[in-house]
Structure 1
Amino acid sequence: MANPNKQKGTAWESAVRDYLNRVLGLVGEYGVFLDPFDAGNVRRPAQEGARDVGDIHAAPFVLEAKNTKRPAVPTWIRQAETEAGHAGFPYGVVVQKVRGAPVAAGRVHVSVRTWTQIRHALGMPADDFAGLYGWAPTVRGLDTSRWYFTTTLRDFADLVGDYRTTGAGAGVHSHAVR
């Protein structure tokens, strides 16, 4: 029998992938890609040994999916950013399952650096960016490496769609209908 924790993790990864593909308009009513060759499709990549490339690719983001009882957000964010680098993507983010809540309520965490880079790519002032996508900061002590921003997967999906349609995501085609 397979490891139950691995099964939970895989189920969460698949749920996030399927949710993003649906919300971004990349699949039809039966969950089949409208264009299987579209680089914008959200996918779970095959792992590549010691140089992990993350759990989910939603270009230009690599998502590290977490379905655990004990959060370790700053550690997870560092992992996601490392894996994004391995995959050749600019942004690594964490998507954490919220127990008993729908997929859309999952929490997406990013470092302050990543948050700022995305905001600059979109050309948005900090207050507008935070308000539009529901970002909330978490500040832990004086060590800024432990600071991060959090939003919901629902708001993050909007961000991915907007990033792709504004030209900030040049080279990534999206079928998102807004």
Structure 2
Amino acid sequence: MRTSSNPSKQRGTAWESAIADYLREHHNPGVHRNVQMGARDIGDIDGYYLHALEAKAEKTITLADYIAQANREAIHAGALFGCAVVKRRMKGVADGYVVRDLRTDVRLLNRLRDMEDALKAAAPTAYALIDKQHREAA
């Protein structure tokens, strides 16, 4: 494998790999890094449930650009939501910031609320067990 002589690209690749490793362990074992696709890019990480994920590890943080890119890539990927995972200086991957615009967050929370209400109505015992499990994990 050839290494890049561009330190910024190396940092970005390392950040993407760290995110993918973390998500494989804590979210979905099928998470993987995507191949760059240019103008029709589908995000840096695949397998983050319902999301196109854009990884950013830059010295200067430009949230508006990251969110616009994540939302555009969500459309390309056919994902419901876009988000950016932004590296927090001097911190590990678990302390990175997941960033999305309020419009996207409201859509996500409305979906979560509606799905929880549907599960609670259809299978109250299962809902109670899942709710307890997630409350204890927090």
TM-score normalised over the length of structure 2: 0.75
1:103 equivalent in structure 2: 93
1:113/1:88 CA distance change after superposition, 3 Å: same
Structure number with the bigger relative contact order (C-alpha 8 A, sep ≥ 6) is: 1
1:56 equivalent in structure 2: 45
Gap runs ≥5 in structure 2:
115-129, 132-136
Matched pairs, number: 113
Instruction: Work out whether 1:4 is the aligned partner of 2:7.
Output: yes
1:43 equivalent in structure 2: 32
Q: Once the two structures are superposed, what CA deviation does each residue of 1:91-120 show, in whole Å capped at 9, x if it has no partner? A: 110100011111100011111111001101
Q: CA RMSD in A?
A: 1.9
Aligned counterparts, 1:1-178, within 5 A? 2-24=5-27, 26=29, 41-57=30-46, 58-123=48-113
Q: Which has the higher helix share?
A: 2
Moved over 6 A (4+): none
Gap runs ≥5 in structure 1:
27-40, 125-164, 167-177
Q: In structure 1, what is the Cα distance between the partners aligned to 2:71 and 2:38? A: 17
Larger radius of gyration: 2
Structure 1 vs Structure 2: percent identity of aligned residues?
A: 42
Q: In structure 2, what is the Cα distance between the partners aligned to 1:108 and 1:22? A: 17
- AA in 2 matched with 1:68: E
